[in-house]
Structure 1
Amino acid sequence: MLLRFLTALLFLAAYCSPPSTRANDYDVVIYSATPAGIAAAVSAAECGDRVLLVEPTSRIGGLTTNGLSHPDFRTFEAITGAYLDFTRRVQQHYDEEYGPDSPQARAALRGTEAEPKVNLLVFEQMLACHSNISVETNSVLTGVDVEGSGNERHIASATFVPTDQRAEGTKKVEAAIFIDASYEGDLLAMAGVPFRVGREARSEYDESLAPKMADDQVQGYNFRLIVTRNPENRVLPVKPAGYHREDFIDVLDLFAEGKLESVFCDRKGGIFKAHLPELPNGKHDVNDVSRGAVRLSMPSINDGWPEGDAAVRNEIFGQHLRHSVGLLYFLQNDEAVPEALREEAREWGWCRDEFPENGHLPVQLYVREGRRMVGQHVYTQQDTVWAEDDARAKLHTDAIAIGDYAHNCHGTGHEGPLIGGKHTGEFYQSTAPYQVPYGVLVPKQCDNLLVPVACSSSHVGFCALRLEPIWMSLGQAAGYAAHVAREKNLAVQEVEPEAVQQICHARGGATIYVSDVPPSHPDFAAVQWWGTRGGLHGLNPKGEVRGEYIVGQYYEAYLNHEAELDKPLSEDARQRWLALAEKLRLDADSLKDAATRGDFIRMAYAQADQSKQ
Structure 2
Amino acid sequence: MSKFGWLLGIVVLAASFDVGPVVGADPEYDVVVYGATPGGIAAAVAAGKAGQSVLLVEPTARVGGLVTSGLSHTDFHSLESLSGAFLDFANRVQSFYVQTYGADSPQVQACFHGTFGEPKVNLAVFHDLLEEQASVKVVRQHRLASLAVSDLAERKHIDSATFVDPQGDVLAVRGRVFIDGSYEGDLMAMAGVAWRAGREAAAEHGESLAPDTADQQLQAYNFRFIMTRDESNRVTPVAPPGYRREDFVGVLKALQSNQIQHVFDYPSKCIFKAQTPALPGGKYDINDVSRSLVRLSLPGKNLGWPDGDQKERQAIFDEHLRDQVGLLYFLQNDPEVPGKFQQEASEWGWCRDEFLESNHLPPQLYVREARRMQGVYVYAQADSEYATEGTRAVFHKDSIAMADYGNNCHGTAHEGLRFGGKHTGEFYNPVPPYQIPYGVLLPKDVDNLLVPVAASSSHVGFCALRLEPIWMSLGQAAGHAAALAVQADHPVQQVNVSDLQRQLHADGSATIYVSDVLPDSTDFVAVQWWAAAGGLQHVYPDGEPRKPRGPKLHGQYCEAAPGHAAGLDLPLDADLERRWIDLAATIGVPATALPEGNGKITRGEFIRAAAKARKTAKN
Q: TM-score, normalised by structure 1?
A: 0.95
Contact 1:242 1:322 in 2 (8 A): yes
Report the AA paired with residue 492 of structure 1.
V
In the TM superposition, structure 1's runs of 4+ consecutive aligned residues that sit over 4 Å from their partners are none
Aligned: 1:33 with 2:36: yes
Structure 1 equivalent of residue 129 of structure 2: 126
Q: CA deviation at 1:547?
A: 1.4
Contact 1:516 1:564 in 2 (8 A): yes
Aligned: 1:562 with 2:568: no
1:557-602 Cα distance to aligned partner (Å, 9 max, x none): 1112111111100111111112211222321344261411011111
> In structure 2, how many angstroms separate the alpha carbons of the residues matched to 1:109 and 1:89?
12
Structure 2 equivalent of residue 207 of structure 1: 207
> In structure 2, how many angstroms separate the alpha carbons of the residues matched to 1:406 and 1:97?
35
Contact 1:151 1:446 in 2 (8 A): no
Structure 2 equivalent of residue 81 of structure 1: 84
Q: Percent identity?
A: 55
Q: CA deviation at 1:611?
A: 3.0
Structure 2 equivalent of residue 348 of structure 1: 348
CA 1:599–1:204 in 2, change beyond 3 Å: closer, same or farther? same
Structure 2 equivalent of residue 308 of structure 1: 308
Instruction: Choose from 49, 52, 57 the match for 1:49.
Output: 52
Report the AA paired with residue 518 of structure 1.
L
Structure 2 equivalent of residue 451 of structure 1: 451
Aligned: 1:223 with 2:226: no
Structure 2 equivalent of residue 400 of structure 1: 400
Instruction: Choose from 596, 608, 618 the match for 1:602.
Output: 608
1:295-348 Cα distance to aligned partner (Å, 9 max, x none): 100011111100011111011101100111000000000011112111000011
Aligned: 1:577 with 2:577: no
Aligned: 1:433 with 2:433: yes
> In structure 2, how many angstroms separate the alpha carbons of the residues matched to 1:151 and 1:323?
48
Contact 1:239 1:326 in 2 (8 A): yes
Q: CA deviation at 1:421?
A: 1.3
Any gaps of 5 or more consecutive residues in structure 2? 1-24
Q: CA deviation at 1:544?
A: 2.3
Contact 2:117 2:279 in 1 (8 A): yes
Corresponding residue SS for 1:142: strand
Structure 2 equivalent of residue 139 of structure 1: 142
1:152-195 Cα distance to aligned partner (Å, 9 max, x none): 100001110002x2xx7111110100000000000000000001
> In structure 2, how many angstroms separate the alpha carbons of the residues matched to 1:64 and 1:495?
30
Report the AA paired with residue 377 of structure 1.
Y
Corresponding residue SS for 2:615: helix
Contact 2:34 2:180 in 1 (8 A): yes
Contact 1:151 1:444 in 2 (8 A): no
Aligned: 1:367 with 2:367: yes
Alignment of 1:266-285 (within 5 A): 266-285=266-285
Contact 2:441 2:450 in 1 (8 A): yes
Q: CA deviation at 1:216?
A: 1.0
Report the AA paired with residue 600 of structure 1.
F
Report the AA paired with residue 427 of structure 1.
F
Corresponding residue SS for 2:216: coil
Structure 2 equivalent of residue 318 of structure 1: 318
Corresponding residue SS for 1:601: helix
Structure 2 equivalent of residue 183 of structure 1: 183
Contact 1:578 1:592 in 2 (8 A): no
Q: CA deviation at 1:93?
A: 0.3
Contact 2:550 2:559 in 1 (8 A): yes
Report the AA paired with residue 36 of structure 2.
A
> In structure 2, how many angstroms separate the alpha carbons of the residues matched to 1:339 and 1:173?
59
Report the AA paired with residue 342 of structure 1.
Q
> In structure 1, how many angstroms separate the alpha carbons of the residues matched to 2:364 and 2:199?
24
Q: CA deviation at 1:103?
A: 0.7
1:207-226 Cα distance to aligned partner (Å, 9 max, x none): 10011000111100000000
Report the AA paired with residue 120 of structure 1.
L
Q: CA RMSD in A?
A: 1.3
Structure 1 equivalent of residue 3 of structure 2: none
> In structure 2, how many angstroms separate the alpha carbons of the residues matched to 1:185 and 1:521?
36
Corresponding residue SS for 2:127: helix
> In structure 2, how many angstroms separate the alpha carbons of the residues matched to 1:326 and 1:348?
14
Contact 2:26 2:173 in 1 (8 A): no
Corresponding residue SS for 2:320: helix
Q: CA deviation at 1:388?
A: 2.1
Matched pairs, number:
589
Instruction: Choose from 583, 588, 594 the match for 2:591.
Output: 588
